[in-house]
Amino acid sequence: MHDPTGDLQRRRHCLSDWLALHELDAETCRSLLETTPTAAAGGTDARARSNPTYRAPDLEAAWLRIAEAMRDFLPEHRGAIDDTFENSARIPLEHRGESRKALTLDNGPDAYPTILFSYRGEPADSVVLAHEFGHALQIRASRGKFVAPIIREVCAFLGESALLSHTRQRHAEQYADFVRVWQAGNYKYFGAQRERLRAALLQPDAPYKYSWNYPVSRYLAIQVSEQCSRDWIWSLFEGEISVRGVLRELAFATD
């Protein structure tokens, strides 16, 4: 999760403001939600069932794998990836219960991000770390430029996708475990969260909720990963492309 401080939520904005910020209208957003997979098709409420044969890497090995995955995904930008990885503060927190809360703090264009996270060695923990590293890389690549929340989350979900691809290619014995985590996420984003956003679209004055960004960004990240060139994707991390630009690239009708 990207730190929402200073975004719409703090300023008590509403659905209409969120749509305007992303150059969307209710009809286009509703069409996007209709295009996303159903929760049943996108995954199951497996909550990333534990696999007794899963051999978890230690924390440092997990982080190194995430950096390697991103270098595989964006090989032309390994310098920026390594710089972000080596200089961003990564601060482990005490985990409580089943919570996997994580947060990436934007410390400004002249500093490196701070990633706060917990780690218990489960596949879901590695996916969360990949998500947060996607945020950190986007923060550094955009160099202080304002990036709308949906685009931030697209970049973070691309970090997750990069880890899945890397695991399939280099750690195939663990791939099914990571797929279960991804599918459980799809169940959440394309299930309850999508329905809450769909309901909010009927209320232009509904108070802004950061969770509205996730169903749209998850779907866009899947499509971007499958359809777009790596150079174009890097422009997304740099903050050069708006949500409207993503929809044009994907040939999604907006008029």
Q: CB 26: neighbour CB atoms within 10 A?
A: 14
Q: How far apart are CA 219 and CA 224, in angstroms?
A: 9
> pLDDT tens track of the chain, all 255 residues?
666 544 555 568 999 999 999 999 999 999 999 999 876 655 555 544 567 678 888 999 999 999 999 999 999 999 999 999 999 999 999 866 666 689 999 999 999 999 999 999 999 999 999 999 999 999 999 999 999 999 999 999 999 999 999 999 999 999 999 999 999 999 999 999 999 999 999 999 999 999 999 999 999 999 999 999 999 999 999 999 999 999 999 998 555
Cβ 182 vs Cβ 160: under 8 Å: yes
R_g of the chain computed on alpha carbons:
17
Q: Which SS3 state, helix, strand or coil, does residue 134 take? A: helix
- What are phi and psi for residue 235, nearest 5 degrees? -60, -30
According to DSSP, the residues that pair with 89 across neighbouring strands are: 114
Across the beta sheet with 114-117, the strand order is 89-92, 114-117, 103-105
> What's this model's pTM, rounded to 2 decimal places?
0.91
Query: Rounded to a whole number, what is the largest CA-CA distance in the chain?
Result: 51
* 41, 45, 47, 49: CA torsion to nearest 10: -80
Cα(34)–Cα(25) distance, rounded to whole angstroms?
Answer: 14
